[in-house]
Amino acid sequence: MSKITEAIAGRETRSGAPAILRELILAWRSRDPKRPASPEWLALAENTRRTWGSELDRIDNKWGTTPLAIWSDMRMKAKVVAWRDSRASTPRAADLGVSVLSALLKFGLIRGLVSANVAANVPRIYRNGQRAEIIWTESDLELFELEATKLGWPQVVDGLRLAALTGLRREDLVTITWDHVGERVLMKRALKTSAGRRRHATIPRTPQLDKLLCVLRKRPRKPSVNTLLVNSHGLPWTGNGFGSSFNRVRDEAGIIHVDSDTGSRTKKHLHDLRGTFCTHLISTGTLSDNEIASIMGWAPERVSTIRRVYVEHSQIVSALAERMRD
């Protein structure tokens, strides 16, 4: 650190105002038990804090000693873009780093510690971030279940099937309880925020979901355990515990998505089961794209894409097969 920076940091830190970016990081995410983290940081889901925390450490290592004053200069945006570009070999991580930096500076902005957010509105470089068209097919589900059965892990299959019939994200899957099961719907306050809000997931109880709920009720569980999903010990899953078990079964089963245009092969994610849930709702034949979008918290256009790519295409192929038999 230069002597000028040291002088600025020393003067402003003693007066109680952050002088360098590291001090702003500490104000947002404190690790000192005597100095609680900000309400904005504590409002994030635990998994988000863990993921963002790693990026904050990276930001601190690169820019922690820079004077906070320069982050109000819009010329710093070019520095942020250059940093993003330097990580282009891992585009999703590069985009996440910029997003976390933007959230940090937004915190500084509302506290009057910076006068601009130079990391806001920086274009993303990960071009395949939209995974709405990737779903788990019924053959994928069957292959996963076969592999999990070989491993003796029926409880992982429970999570797979629940995700496919509810569209819940991982953290909500492992925390949803029987108290959330109503007579006609499952209703749970989502742990992850969307557009800055924590929405309520309201999921209709279809006959397939009711059948699965009957199976889940019969799983051995420890006294007072009230989550729908339990692990092999009869205890609630942790998000990381379920995620690692799920990924192992997926990898053993070799479940991947092949891009029809480029031929690129990528692993299907737990999150892609939201697309499967969408096809499940479409197949009922009673819900419009707008109604399905409302249930899932998606734009209607995303539902229309899945309807066109998976459901209607499948129906056309089936109809052609029937005509060829005649």
Separation of alpha carbons 214 and 7, rounded Å: 67
Per-residue confidence (pLDDT) for residue 5, from 0 to 100: 39
Together in a domain, 161 and 237: yes
Instruction: Assess if residue 198 is contained within a domain.
Output: yes
Together in a domain, 146 and 244: yes
Which residues have CB under 8 Å from 4's CB, separation 6+? none
Together in a domain, 298 and 239: yes
Domain of 154: which CATH number?
1.10.443.10
Domain boundary, last residue among 90, 110, 130: 110
Per-residue confidence (pLDDT) for residue 320, from 0 to 100: 45
Instruction: Assess if residue 199 is contained within a domain.
Output: yes
pTM, two decimals, is: 0.62
Which residues have CB under 8 Å from 224's CB, separation 6+? none
Together in a domain, 219 and 152: yes
Together in a domain, 181 and 320: yes
Together in a domain, 60 and 194: no
Instruction: Assess if residue 270 is contained within a domain.
Output: yes
Instruction: Assess if residue 120 is contained within a domain.
Output: no
Per-residue confidence (pLDDT) for residue 252, from 0 to 100: 95
Together in a domain, 201 and 293: yes
Instruction: Assess if residue 119 is contained within a domain.
Output: no
Full 3-state SS string of the chain: CCHHHHHHHHHHHHCCCCCEHHHHHHHHCCCCCCCCCCHHHHCCCHHHHHHHHHHHHHHHHHHCCCEHHHHHCCCHHHHHHHHHHHCCCCHHHHHHHHHHHHHHHHHHHHCCCCCCCCCCCCCCCCCCCCCCCCCCCHHHHHHHHHHHHHHCCHHHHHHHHHHHHHCCCHHHHCCCEHHHECCCEEEEECCCCECCECCEEEEECCHHHHHHHHHHHCCCCCCCCCECCCCCCCCCCCHHHHHHHHHHHHHHHCCEEECCCCCCEEECCHHHHHHHHHHHHHHCCCCCHHHHHHHHCCCHHHHHHHHHHHHHHHHHHHHHHHHHHC
Instruction: Assess if residue 130 is contained within a domain.
Output: no
Per-residue confidence (pLDDT) for residue 195, from 0 to 100: 47
Residue of 274, 254, 28 whose CA lies nearest to 134: 274
Together in a domain, 164 and 240: yes
Per-residue confidence (pLDDT) for residue 190, from 0 to 100: 66
Residue of 69, 37, 245, 51 whose CA lies nearest to 160: 245
Domain boundary, last residue among 93, 110, 127: 110
Torsion sign (Cα): 308, 309, 312, 316: positive
- Please name the amino acid found at residue 52: W
Kindly report, residue by residue over 96-152, the tens digit of the pLDDT: 999 999 999 999 999 999 999 999 999 988 765 455 568 899 999 999 999 999 999
Together in a domain, 196 and 264: yes
Q: How many domains does the chain have?
A: 2
Together in a domain, 170 and 308: yes
User: What b/e sequence results for 183-214 when a residue is b if at least 16 CB atoms lie within 10 Å of its CB, and e otherwise?
Assistant: eeebebebbeeeeeeeeebebebeeebeebbe
Instruction: Assess if residue 62 is contained within a domain.
Output: yes
| Full domain range(s) for residue 22 | 3-110
Separation of alpha carbons 262 and 233, rounded Å: 43
Instruction: Assess if residue 272 is contained within a domain.
Output: yes
Partners of residue 20 on adjacent β-strands? 67
Please, what are the averages of pLDDT over each run of 10 residues along the chain (326 residues)? Answer: 40 59 94 86 85 93 95 95 92 90 95 94 73 80 95 96 93 95 87 54 90 96 96 95 96 88 82 90 86 81 81 52 53
Give the gyration radius of the chain's Cα atoms: 24
Together in a domain, 102 and 155: no
Domain boundary, last residue among 110, 129, 147: 110
Together in a domain, 206 and 276: yes
